[in-house]
Amino acid sequence: MHMQKGFVLWLTGLSGSGKTTLGDRVEEELKQRGYLAERLDGDLVRKHLWKDLGFTKEDRDEHIRRVGFLAALLSRNGVGVIASFISPYRAQREGVRKEVQNFIEVFCSCSLEVCKQRDKKGLYKKAERGEIPNFTGVSDPYEFPENPNIELHTDTASIEENKQKILDYLKGHGYIR
């Protein structure tokens, strides 16, 4: 194990933009290199930690606030946190940035069309039929990051290229060797 400076890679983007896949790959790579890394992913956190929250604006804000607290705790103890959350509102992400040391906003930029094509669970179709209220990108807004630390084009670059871009950033900023 390397002694390391904790950080939080905050992957934000539409449903289907590749946040989870990319987060998993980055975590794998960091662990292979001997770094402490922990994944926080939207679906898993909701399932295991707070089933009490729905998808209203208030519940989403509370969800992200809680995740931010957890990420801050881990990162200040030397863990590299890879968090994948749609986190559609700028104010949510800025709130987490204020609470977390070494917050790195990673925008997974992907066209809505490609996100819909990748949607294995059929969530976009359900949202378009009105079966899922408050769905980001359909009936609820996604506020694009204005100055993300890293912007990835997940609809045109490969997973490998995007993973490398994240690792290069971490290395360039002294988080990994």
Task: Give me the active site residues, please.
Answer: 87
Q: Is the dihedral of CA 129, 131, 134, 137 positive or negative?
A: negative
The residue written with tokens 């030397």 in the block is: 78
Q: Give the three-state DSSP class for 121.
A: coil
Q: What is the C-alpha to C-alpha distance for residues 45 and 65, in angstroms, rounded to an integer?
A: 12
Q: What is the C-alpha to C-alpha distance for residues 108 and 10, in angstroms, rounded to an integer?
A: 10
Q: Give the three-state DSSP class for 11.
A: strand
Read off the tokens for 67: 């995740």
Query: Please, which residues bridge with residue 41 across strands?
Result: 84
Q: What is the C-alpha to C-alpha distance for residues 91 and 57, in angstroms, rounded to an integer?
A: 12
